[in-house]
């Protein structure tokens, strides 16, 4: 049982749900029980996470559902595509799962995004629960209802806005997370301060070393505050017509890094970390932030063990990749930039200026 | 230009839209113009429909969108699956289409269902317009926001509830429709009377010959009234939690026929036609309707040129196929049955009784 459980309530009308944060939650059936599910459960997980946590979750869910099945996907961003998604559909159809079936996403953002999209699409929509096991998934991808798979021509191009019924972030799962993945998750934690809450940037600055050492109370607060900040934004703009786009701070550059290197070479969070520095540089060159804020962000990113420079691709390649990215409308790239600490703005910028930023921020 | 245009308003809050019905609508840009679209247009159609109507639609849309592209899919229910859907995504991504892109589904229910699901999923949702060119699509599939593709293990298993922005039913397109397809569409027209409007069953009885001869004013009324009746039901239950299921009258049996014969051997409407007779027989055996109503429905189905008997598969096979169908919850098949003329009820029935119905309604 977890000694202290934090709760963040996501208020989206009839699609509202809770995020629970605490140690040992996977072993506690009462939180799942409360939802009153009547159908089968299908745990969706991957080859890495299954041996670590699937048995515990299955046992818990057996007290909730009259039948619990499992499908184990191959591990990796490269598998976040149709063929893997179809393994979930196959599993559902082989077991004649009906519309009352509940999918449980046990894993990182890849498993979460695919499970969410499978839930959105199976019979035009069944319930799902997120059980995120990476820091990135706990602070970001499991919250907000964005689901997707990749297409060879672009990341997250095919998906749905589809909210989970519950998010259960068990801090104990972070014990087994490789350090590189922890750093990648910290990139998304760091993101929230500059765009939405200057005080949280201060807190992260003061606690980044504790977070790197997996201090539990620091992690608990980082997850909770990140979810709160994300929830604030998503609550105002569920379908990303405007405001929500600020959560993509660092992501336009980041997606170009990921796509340019082939998905999986860089971790999503690593690309976002470097992407935030590029976006901050661009903000500075546009006169929106001063050098001291840029330096602070760079130092936090560095202490979180994240790369400070992007891969050595020509600036023109970055620009092409960003133009195909979904934030580009009618060929014009809209960047999420900073306007001081704790405030984001959407802006386009001259290609030449963007190219300068990229050139000074790539490893050559 | 069309002399008389009928309009059916579908009231679904911020997802409301109009259905326009009339001759020559594909050639009239003002109806599309009114939506104020700002992005590119992608016409999705198939090899059969493209040579007939794509040029006219393209010309019309060129007055509305600054760029109009087209993707031509192979024709047939067998292609209503992922690989074909992906041709739409490829077309969108090759042209760097953004979130403001509008998809136009020009064709029958297959093109409509796939285009709708592509629109629901591309970048997590772009706008789409239905331009249905079969009777079935005009009276049924283009209305109500159900979109889907098939899975080898089940029909329409993967999809979304996603409303179009407009439906434009050009009656002139029905001129080129093969007679067999016209009959298949009439099955869905016939459906609405027994489940929702006894007076409409009377009207269809009186006009089925005129409809078979493509009398334009009869077709216009049939399309309009069918859309109104469907809209009434969908308006009360957009996501098929209950009432909406009555629209599946004949479909549980029908899907078993389609799946049992391999998709495409029987037309959807043909299977629904026979399926309605099976469901009516079952209603009669359960004492819900009398023989005279059953006879009336059978005669209308016969005069619409639809098969009166299902394919010669064992009753046990029908039952298995119906159990995997999405209307089966926890292994129990829920049938849409009639409770007098103009009233539907959801009910299960003993397997033995269902088997008797099937045996007396299969060609051997
Ligand atoms: N939906 C959203 O809003 C959103 C937001 C951000 C990112 N994302 C997506 O999330 C994905 C990245 O998520 P991620 O960083 O969690 O990657 P991931 O899911 O690939 O997980 C990273 C690695 O850690 C392993 N792992 C997971 N939990 C573990 C544990 N407890 N112990 C040991 N190993 C564990 C995984 O198997 C994997 O190898 C990307 O596809 C990205 O597009 C989505
Ligand atoms: N979404 C829904 O609510 C819903 C409801 C009912 C049916 N459906 C789906 O609709 C599909 C059946 O639709 P359908 O009956 O329109 O089949 P279809 O789309 O296959 O069209 C039938 C045939 O007619 C051709 N055609 C289309 N328009 C023509 C025209 N004007 N002239 C000549 N030929 C033309 C097509 O190319 C095709 O060969 C099924 O996949 C079914 O699952 C969906
Ligand atoms: Zn991210
Ligand atoms: Zn139908």
| Alpha carbon distance B55, A311 (integer Å) | 46
CB burial string B334-343: b at 16+ within 10 A, e below: bbbbbeebbb
Averaged pLDDT for residues A323-334 = 69
Residue ranges of E strands in chain A: 6-10, 17-22, 41-46, 68-73, 102-107, 127-132, 146-151, 154-161, 166-170, 335-338, 344-347
Cβ–Cβ < 8 Å for B61, B102: no
Cβ–Cβ < 8 Å for B8, B227: yes
| Alpha carbon distance B253, B264 (integer Å) | 16
Could you tell me the pLDDT band of residue A128, with boundaries at 50, 70 and 90?
Answer: very high
- Tell me which chain A residues have a C-beta less than 8 angstroms from the C-beta of B239: 124-125
pLDDT tens digits for range A138-162: 999 999 899 999 999 888 999 999 9
Could you tell me the pLDDT band of residue B102, with boundaries at 50, 70 and 90?
Answer: very high
Closest CA to B107 of B31, B51, B66, B180: B51
| Alpha carbon distance A70, A46 (integer Å) | 10
Could you tell me the pLDDT band of residue A108, with boundaries at 50, 70 and 90?
Answer: very high
What lies within 8 Å, CB to CB, of B347 at 6+ separation is: B286, B334, B335, B337
Per-residue pLDDT at B3: 61
How far away, in angstroms, is A252 Cα from ligand 1 center?
19
> Would you call B103 helix, strand, or coil by DSSP?
strand
Give the phi and the psi of residue B90 in degrees, each rounded to 5. Answer: -60, -45
Record: contact A124-B148, CB cut-off 8 A: yes
How far away, in angstroms, is B186 Cα from ligand 2 center?
12
What lies within 8 Å, CB to CB, of B188 at 6+ separation is: B135, B136, B139, B140, B226, B269, B272
Q: Which two tokens stand for residue B267?
A: 């037309």
Closest chain A residue to the Cα of B117, Cα to Cα: A121
* Sign of the four-CA dihedral A107, A113, A115, A119: positive
Whether chain B has a CB inside 8 Å of the CB on A87: the answer is no
| Chain B: closest CA distance from residue A331 (Å) | 8
pLDDT tens digits for range B32-42: 999 999 999 99
Q: Which of B82, B121, B153 sits opposite A93 (nearest CB)?
A: B153
pLDDT at A348 over 50: yes
How many residues in total does chain A contain? 364
Closest CA to A57 of A106, A4, A128: A106
pLDDT at B329 over 60: no
3-state helix, strand, coil in chain A (%, to 5): 50, 20, 30
* Sign of the four-CA dihedral A270, A272, A278, A281: negative
Averaged pLDDT for residues A186-196 = 97
Give the phi and the psi of residue A68 in degrees, each rounded to 5. Answer: -130, 120
| Alpha carbon distance B357, B352 (integer Å) | 9
Closest CA to B170 of B145, B134, B143: B134
Q: Domains of chain B by range and CATH?
A: 6-176 (3.40.50.1970), 179-360 (1.20.1090.10)
| Alpha carbon distance B47, B111 (integer Å) | 11
Mutate which of B181, B248, B327 for ligand 2 pocket (most atoms within 8 A of beta carbon): B181
Per-residue pLDDT at A326: 54
Per-residue pLDDT at B265: 85
B 324-343 → A contacts, CB under 8 A: 324, 326, 328-331
Per-residue pLDDT at B243: 83
Q: Which two tokens stand for residue A204?
A: 């992260």
Could you tell me the pLDDT band of residue A325, with boundaries at 50, 70 and 90?
Answer: low
Per-residue pLDDT at B230: 94
Per-residue pLDDT at A72: 98
DSSP symbols for A55-75: HHHHHHHHTT-S-EEEEEEPP
| Alpha carbon distance A101, A124 (integer Å) | 12
Give the phi and the psi of residue A129 in degrees, each rounded to 5. Answer: -125, 135
Per-residue pLDDT at B2: 43
Work out the end-to-end distance of chain A between its first and last CA atoms, rounded to an integer number of angstroms: 50
pLDDT at B327 over 60: no
pLDDT at B228 over 70: yes
Whether chain A has a CB inside 8 Å of the CB on B291: the answer is no
pLDDT tens digits for range B288-317: 999 999 999 999 999 999 999 999 999 999
HEC string for A106-146: EECHHHHHHHHHHHHHECCCCEEEEEECCHHHHHHHCCCCE
Percentage of chain B with pLDDT > 90?
86
Averaged pLDDT for residues A32-60 = 97
> Would you call A5 helix, strand, or coil by DSSP?
coil
Per-residue pLDDT at A1: 42
pLDDT tens digits for range A194-247: 999 999 999 999 999 999 999 999 999 999 999 999 999 988 877 777 788 899
A346: which strand partners? A336
Percentage of chain B with pLDDT > 70?
96
DSSP state of A274: H
Work out the end-to-end distance of chain B between its first and last CA atoms, rounded to an integer number of angstroms: 50
- Tell me which chain B residues have a C-beta less than 8 angstroms from the C-beta of A89: 151, 157-158
Could you tell me the pLDDT band of residue A2, with boundaries at 50, 70 and 90?
Answer: very low
pLDDT at A318 over 60: yes
Whether chain A has a CB inside 8 Å of the CB on B148: the answer is yes
* Sign of the four-CA dihedral B333, B337, B343, B345: negative
Whether chain A has a CB inside 8 Å of the CB on B67: the answer is no
CA atoms within 13 A on the CB side of B356: 11
Averaged pLDDT for residues B162-169 = 98
Angle at A148 between CA B124 and CA A223, to 5 degrees: 110
Chain-centroid distance of CA B335 in Å reads 19
- Tell me which chain A residues have a C-beta less than 8 angstroms from the C-beta of B120: 160
As for the ipTM of the complex, it is: 0.91
Cβ–Cβ < 8 Å for B24, B4: no
What lies within 8 Å, CB to CB, of B352 at 6+ separation is: none
**For ligand 2, is residue B80 a contact (CB within 6 Å)?**
yes
pTM: 0.93
Cite the active site residues of A. 124, 146, 188, 230, 240, 244, 248, 251, 255, 268
**For ligand 2, is residue B240 a contact (CB within 6 Å)?**
no
Record: contact A99-B329, CB cut-off 8 A: yes
């Amino acid at each position: 049982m977890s000694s202290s459980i934090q709760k963040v309530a996501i208020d989206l009308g009839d699609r509202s749900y809770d995020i629970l944060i605490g140690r040992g939650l996977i072993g506690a059936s009462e939180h799942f029980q409360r939802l009153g599910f009547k159908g089968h459960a299908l745990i969706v997980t991957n080859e890495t996470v299954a041996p670590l946590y699937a048995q515990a979750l299955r046992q818990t869910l057996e007290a909730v559902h009259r039948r619990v099945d499992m499908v184990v996907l191959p591990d990796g961003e490269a598998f976040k595509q149709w063929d893997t998604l179809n393994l979930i559909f196959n599993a559902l159809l082989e077991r004649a799962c009906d519309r009352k079936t509940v999918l449980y996403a046990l894993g990182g953002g890849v498993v979460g995004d695919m499970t969410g999209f499978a839930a959105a699409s199976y019979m035009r929509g069944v319930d799902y629960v997120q059980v995120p096991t990476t820091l990135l998934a706990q602070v970001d991808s499991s919250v907000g209802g964005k689901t997707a798979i990749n297409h060879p021509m672009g990341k997250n191009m095919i998906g749905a806005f589809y909210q989970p019924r519950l998010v259960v972030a068990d801090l104990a799962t972070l014990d087994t997370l490789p350090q590189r993945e922890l750093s990648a998750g910290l990139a998304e934690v760091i993101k929230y301060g500059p765009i939405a809450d200057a005080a949280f940037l201060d807190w992260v600055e003061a606690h980044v070393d504790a977070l790197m050492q997996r201090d539990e109370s620091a992690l608990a607060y980082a997850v909770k505050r990140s979810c709160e900040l994300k929830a604030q934004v998503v609550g105002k703009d569920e379908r990303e017509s405007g405001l929500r786009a600020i959560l993509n701070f660092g992501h336009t550059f980041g997606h170009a890094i990921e796509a340019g290197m082939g998905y999986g070479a860089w971790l999503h969070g690593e690309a976002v970390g470097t992407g935030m520095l590029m976006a901050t540089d661009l903000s500075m060159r546009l006169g929106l932030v001063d050098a001291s804020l840029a330096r602070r962000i760079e130092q936090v990113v560095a202490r979180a063990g994240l790369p400070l420079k992007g891969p050595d691709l020509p600036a023109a390649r970055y620009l092409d990749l960003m133009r195909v990215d979904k934030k580009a409308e009618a060929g014009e790239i809209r960047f999420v930039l900073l306007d001081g600490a704790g405030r984001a703005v959407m802006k386009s910028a001259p290609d030449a200026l963007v190219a300068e930023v990229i050139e000074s921020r790539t490893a050559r």
